[in-house]
Structure 1
Amino acid sequence: MSVAPASAASRSTAEPLLALRAVTLRFGGVTALDGVDLEVAPGELHAVIGPNGAGKTSIFNCINGVYRPQEGELRLDGQDLRGLRPARIARLGVARTFQNLGLFTALSVVDNLMLGRHHLMRTGFLTGALWVGRARREELEHREAVERIVELLELEAHRHRPAGLLPYGLQKRLELGRALAMEPKLLLLDEPVAGMNLEETEDMARYLLEIRRELDLAMLLVEHEMHLVMDLADRVTALDFGRRIATGTPAEIQADPRVIEAYLGAAA
Structure 2
Amino acid sequence: MLEASGLMVYYENMLALNNVGLKAEEGSVIGVFGSNSAGKSTLMYMLSGVLLDIRKKEEMRGGERITLLGKILLDGEEITTLAPHERAARGIVLCPERRRIFGESSVIENLRIGSYLAPRNDRARDIEYVFRIFPRLKDHIHRQGGFLSGGEQQMLAIGRALMAHPKILLLDEPLLGLSPAYQKIVIDSIREIRTARGITIVIAEQYARPVIPVIDRGYIIENGSAILEGSKEELMGNPDVKSAYFGV
The TM-score range, normalised by the shorter chain, is 0.7 to 0.9
Spell out structure 1 runs of 4+ moving beyond 6 A.
Answer: none
Matched residue, 1:151: 132
Residues 161-172 of structure 1 aligned to structure 2 (within 5 Å):
161-172=143-154
Is residue 118–residue 163 contact of structure 2 (8 Å, CA) maintained in 1?
A: no
- Normalized against structure 2, the TM-score is what? 0.86
Report if the CA contact (8 A) 1:26-1:32 is conserved: yes
TM-score under structure 1 normalisation? Answer: 0.80
Question: Equivalent residue for 2:30?
Answer: 46
> Is this contact kept in 1: 2:5–2:20, CA < 8 A?
yes
Equivalence for 2:164: 182
Indicate whether 1:116 and 2:114 are aligned. yes
In structure 2, do the counterparts of structure 1 residues 35 and 170 end up closer, same or farther at CA, with 3 Å as the change threshold? same
Displacement after TM superposition at 1:266 (Å): 9.7
**How big is the shift at 1:144?**
3.1
Is the partner of 1:35 in helix, strand or coil? strand
Is 1:228 paired with 2:215? no
Give the Cα–Cα distance (whole angstroms) in 1 for the partners of residues 240 and 12 of structure 2. Answer: 28
Q: What is aligned with 1:29?
A: 13
Helix, strand or coil at the partner of 1:118? coil
For 1:227, what is the secondary structure of its paired residue? coil
Unaligned runs of 5+ in 2: 53-66
Q: What is the CA–CA distance in structure 1 between the aligned matches of 2:205 and 2:68, rounded to whole Å? A: 26
Identify the residue that residue 176 of structure 2 maps to in structure 1. Answer: 194
Say whether the 8 Å CA contact 2:16–2:223 is kept in structure 1: yes
Deviations 1:161-190 (A, max 9, x none): 222222221111010000000001100001
Q: Secondary structure of the equivalent of 2:209?
A: helix
- Is 1:73 the counterpart of 2:71? The answer is yes
Partner of 2:91: 93
Q: Which moved more, 1:160-169 or 1:251-260?
A: 251-260
Asked if the contact 2:31/2:204 (under 8 Å) is kept, the reply is yes
Structure 1 residues 142, 246: CA separation in 2 closer, same or farther (over 3 Å shift)? same
Report deviation, 1:265.
Answer: 8.7
Q: CA RMSD in A?
A: 2.1
